[in-house]
Amino acid sequence: MVSTVGPPGEGVRTPYSALPPVVHDWVDELLGSPVVSAGTRAGGFSPGVAAVVACADGRTAFVKAVSGDANPVSPEMHRREALAAAALPASVPAPRLLGVYDDGTWVALAFEAVAGEQPRLPWSAGDLDRVLRMLARLTDDLTPSPWRQAPELAERMGRAFSGWRRLAAGGVPAGLDDWSRRHLDALAELEAGWEAAAAGTTLLHHDVRADNLLLDGERVWLVDWPAASVGAAWIDVALFAPSVAMQGGPPPEELLGRSAAARTADPAAITAYVAAIAGYLTRQSLLPAPAGLPTVRAFQAAQAEITRAWLAERTGWR
């Protein structure tokens, strides 16, 4: 039975009111009017602020902010997102970046506030069709990458996507499932080819999930771009597929078959990349929860189970 895990991170957000006065002052000055109300946006993993603010003059914006005290990794993710957002062409359905605040401890980003709601789960056929059409157009718009300084996917994820090899080298942990135990050496070998398999010229979002999407009628917005990097055109759909299956949508292989870029890709390349995703999710799900991110391991574990089943289907390993 496919589980329908909802958007992660509900209840972990810091309220806008908890930001230090210096960040409040920056937002007021940037928007040209004092903020009079703020509503927290649910979803995601970050312990930081994610709020739509309204100013005295009626202007609105989306503000996200985090400090290194809450989680040491999150400020750097905001900095990467600022670089990516500033480089996106106007054709990309992403909110426009309005400004960046960075004092070395607190990092805050302000974006235009866009209309829309996260997809209702379990996934409906209509919502999924709209998202897949958006991703296909995005591939066309972002090939070749318009951001010349964007990191290569292999450069950004090389260490993270070595999960099977790190598990094989470090000893098998007690919580590892039986299928992974039986095939660990072969999985490590398959994973080792993912970097060459995933090479390409497309600027990827590389974190497409329900909680990073906003639907406004036929319009689909794709938010949160800190993972933007350059790779093969089919990768965003491949990475999206396990979360869709986990949240009540079709199986990963069926979803992948609806992508023109994936249908023309080398099947062995896709399998190597799926092995990398599965190894990453499996290893991460066995680690203690990082500071300020209490929900992330359960989400990774659920997605890892789906991805391992998909990998078993593609390899024929039982």
Mean pLDDT calculated for residue range 11-38 = 93
Q: Rounded distance, CA 255 to CA 251, Å?
A: 6
Q: What is the pLDDT of residue 154?
A: 97
Q: What is the Cα–Cα distance from 56 to 73, expressed in whole angstroms?
A: 34
Domain count, the chain: 2
**Phi, psi angle pair for 236, to nearest 5°:** -60, -40
CATH number of the domain bearing residue 178: 3.90.1200.10
* 45 confidence band (pLDDT: 50, 70, 90): low
Beta bridge partners of 52: 39, 62
Same domain, 157 and 57: no
pLDDT at residue 6 in the model: 45
Residue range(s) defining the domain that contains residue 36? 16-111
104: domain CATH number? 3.30.200.20
- In this structure, is residue 119 part of a structural domain? no
pLDDT of 7 > 70? The answer is no
Q: Does residue 165 form part of some domain? A: yes
Q: Are residues 240 and 210 in the same domain?
A: yes
Model confidence at 191: pLDDT above 50: yes
Q: Are residues 105 and 130 in the same domain?
A: no
Residue-wise pLDDT tens digits, 273-317: 999 999 999 999 999 988 777 888 999 999 999 999 999 999 999
Helix, coil or strand: residue 100: strand
One domain, residues 96 and 135: no
Q: What is the pLDDT of residue 11?
A: 43
**pLDDT tens digits, 59-98:** 999 999 999 887 788 999 999 999 999 999 999 999 999 9
Domain shared by 40 and 180, yes or no = no
What's the pLDDT tens digit per position in 215-231? 998 899 999 999 999 99
Residue 116: inside a domain, yes or no? no
pLDDT at residue 249 in the model: 97
Tokens representing residue 282 in the block: 């499996």
